[in-house]
Amino acid sequence: MKKIIYLISAIPALGSLVVINRVEPYVLGMPFVLFWAILWVCLTSVFLIIANKLDPVTEEEED
């Protein structure tokens, strides 16, 4: 289970390492570079919430 939690926690770091150097395709009115950065900030929160829910130590503390 720990390996899955570590993998889920590492996905945002790996995804944000992808360098996008494009301005032209606009997404939601933002240049693609800005959209990519904001997207990974939001996805990092989602992945860390999932990792927290899967962590058995967290379940023990809630009881």
Q: pLDDT-based confidence at 32, cuts 50/70/90?
A: confident
49: left (phi over 0), alpha (psi -120 to 50) or beta: alpha
- DSSP assignment, residue 46? H
CA 11/CA 40 separation, integer angstroms? 10
Would the pLDDT of 53 be above 80?
Answer: yes
Residue 30 per-residue DSSP state: E
Dist. CA 58–CA 54, nearest whole Å: 8
pLDDT at res. 23: 67
Q: What average pLDDT score do residues 45-49 get?
A: 88
Under DSSP, is residue 27 helix (H, G, I), strand (E, B) or coil?
Answer: strand
Q: What is the pTM of this model?
A: 0.66
